[in-house]
Amino acid sequence: MYGLINVGFGNVIIGDRVIAIVNPESAPLKRLKEVAKEEGKLIDATYGRKTRAIVITDSNHIILSAIQPETIASRFMQAFTDIEELLKEIRDAGRSLAE
């Protein structure tokens, strides 16, 4: 229940579909990126800039971002907090209507 998460340059992903946000420097992740490209499951959202994060989804799509993994993770946490606050307001409004 994360909603849409900005991964840079106006590109957003559905937060609920994300499995991992990783640093792209290791050899296994470079191979993962190549396999995704061959399978047509690579989405490049870097706008030509250096890849700083790889987002892995539950559908095996690989999304490249020019934003640091820590920044994307903090956006996830903020989206989660925002949704929790909204749900609390809705619950409180429902209680006051029931009274």
Number of domains observed in the structure of the chain: 1
pLDDT tens-digit series, residues 38-83: 999 999 999 999 999 999 999 999 999 999 999 999 999 998 899 8
pTM to 2 decimal places = 0.85
1/65: higher pLDDT: 65
The domain in which residue 69 lies consists of: 4-98
Report the percent of the chain where pLDDT is more than 90: 85
Q: Is the pLDDT of residue 28 over 80?
A: yes
- DSSP class of residue 32 equals H
Q: Which residue has the tokens 């029931």?
A: 98
CA distances from 55 to 6, 7, 32, 47, 94 (A): 12, 9, 11, 16, 37
Looking at every residue in the chain, the average pLDDT score rounds to 94
User: Helix-strand-coil percent breakdown of the chain, rounded to 5?
Assistant: 45, 25, 25
pLDDT on residue 26: 94
Residue 88: how many other CB atoms lie within 10 Å: 10
